[in-house]
Chains A and B, each alone.
Chain A
Amino acid sequence: NAGVTQTPKFRILKIGQSMTLQCAQDMNHNYMYWYRQDPGMGLKLIYYSVGAGITDKGEVPNGYNVSRSTTEYFPLRLELAAPSQTSVYFCASSYSGQQGNTQYFGPGTRLTVL
């Protein structure tokens, strides 16, 4: 298993541009998450999904959108990028059952908005 994969690894955007951060998992996890990590801070939840077709906002959703058409993929969309969205973005996944409380993380995407 590849686990949780994310693309791209690095990206520089200009203010006002848009992009999609890709996330995929091959562990058949039904829960997926997007976090952002600002310098010197822990991770904060942006959006999450409990299954295909079901998504909801986390702690810091403004400026982002998500979709979950399949179990495997959970892309994060940035519309009208702003410097405040400069951060490292992590995707994670887990099962929902008794054994599902451990989240597995992707390698992260470092995004800079200039």
Chain B
Amino acid sequence: AQTVTQSQPEMSVQEAETVTLSCTYDTSESDYYLFWYKQPPSRQMILVIRQEAYKQQNATENRFSVNFQKAAKSFSLKISDSQLGDAAMYFCAYRSEYIMNYGGSQGNLIFGKGTKLSVKP
């Protein structure tokens, strides 16, 4: 079974600086998707960025980028120029591509326990 581990329960960053959140995962599959979701105090789950395992290029979305190391099964999130609005819980999640392509009936996300990010003004 796949597992996702976020080893940093809490992180803090100064406004305008850069922070990196760590995520490792365990899988025997070669095709899968990885996601970072943000959960602000409103509890809404907001997709930040996603990465397809077959792509070597790291995904980027404005100030958010990932460092995807497939061999090491590592998927860290870098937030540049941190803003007060970035303060939230961040969840790393895994989803199997195999299940989707073969019309499988699951395709659910497997989540880590989250990292609480604080941004200091």
Contact = CB atoms under 8 A, between A and B. Distances in A.
Interface of A: 31, 33, 40-45, 48, 50, 54, 56, 58, 88, 90, 92, 94, 96-98, 100-105, 107-108, 110
Contacts, number: 66
Contact of A102 (B35, B43, B105, B106): B35
Contact of A43 (B44, B107, B109): B109
A100 B45 CA distance: 17
Nearest to B52: A101
Interface of B: 4, 33, 35, 37, 42-47, 50, 91, 93, 95, 97, 100, 103, 105-109, 111-114
A104 B44 CA distance: 10
B106 A40 contact: no
A46 to B, nearest CB: 10
A101 B43 contact: no
Contacts of B47: 102-104
